[in-house]
Amino acid sequence: MDFLNPDWVQWIAFSLGGLVLGLLVEKFVVQRASKLAARTKITWDDLAVSSIKGVPTAWFTSGGIYLALNVGGVDPLLLSTAVSGLTVVVIGSVVVAGMRLTGGAVEMLSGQAGGAIGSPTLVVNLARLAVGVLGVFIILQNLGIDITPLITAAGIGGLAVALALQDTLGNLFAGVQIILSQQVRQNDYVRLSSGEEGWITDVKGRNTTMQTFPDGNLVAVPNSVLASSIVKNFTLPRTALWVSVEVGVSYDSDLEHVEAVTLEVARSVLENTKGGETSEEPLVRFHSFGASSIDFEVRMMVGDFESQGPIKHDFIKRLHKRYNDEGIDIPFPIRTVMMGGGEEN
Domain coverage including residue 221: 182-233
| 333 located within any domain | no
Query: Domain check: are 301 and 204 in the same one?
Result: no
Query: Domain check: are 213 and 256 in the same one?
Result: no
pLDDT reported for residue 345: 47
pLDDT reported for residue 111: 54
Q: Please give the helix or strand (H or E) that residue 190 lies within, else none.
A: strand 189-192
Name the domain count of the chain. 3
Query: Domain check: are 48 and 116 in the same one?
Result: yes
| 167 located within any domain | no
Q: Can you tell me whether residue 242 is helix, strand or coil?
A: strand
CATH number, domain containing residue 289: 3.30.70.100
Nearest CA-CA partner of 183 in 130, 244, 230: 230
| 89 located within any domain | yes
| 157 located within any domain | no
| 29 located within any domain | yes
pLDDT reported for residue 262: 95
pLDDT reported for residue 259: 95
Instruction: Among 233, 264, 295, give the residue marking a domain's end.
Output: 233
| 74 located within any domain | yes
Query: Domain check: are 19 and 104 in the same one?
Result: yes
φ, ψ at 94 (rounded to 5°): -65, -40
Query: Domain check: are 290 and 309 in the same one?
Result: yes
Query: Domain check: are 73 and 17 in the same one?
Result: yes
C-alpha distances in angstroms, 340 versus 314, 334, 337, 343?
A: 47, 19, 10, 10
AA letter at 28:
F
234 close to 190: Cβ distance less than 8 angstroms: yes
Rounded distance, CA 245 to CA 337, Å? 30
Instruction: Give me the DSSP letters along 132-151.
Output: HHHHHHHHHHHTT---HHHH
| 168 located within any domain | no
Query: Domain check: are 229 and 281 in the same one?
Result: no
Query: Domain check: are 10 and 139 in the same one?
Result: yes
**Tens-level pLDDT at each residue, the chain (345 residues):** 444 556 666 778 878 888 888 888 888 888 888 888 778 877 777 888 888 888 888 888 888 888 887 776 667 777 788 888 888 888 888 888 888 888 888 777 765 444 434 456 777 777 888 888 888 888 888 877 777 776 676 666 666 655 555 677 777 778 777 777 777 888 888 888 888 888 888 888 788 888 888 778 888 888 888 888 888 888 888 888 899 999 999 999 999 999 999 999 999 999 999 989 988 899 999 999 988 899 999 999 998 888 888 999 999 999 999 999 999 998 887 666 666 555 554
| 345 located within any domain | no
* Residues facing 294 on adjacent strands: 249, 289
Query: Domain check: are 124 and 21 in the same one?
Result: yes
Give the pairing of strands 294-302 and 283-289. antiparallel
Query: Domain check: are 215 and 256 in the same one?
Result: no
pLDDT reported for residue 7: 63
Query: In the sheet where 283-289 sits, what is the strand order?
Result: 241-249, 294-302, 283-289
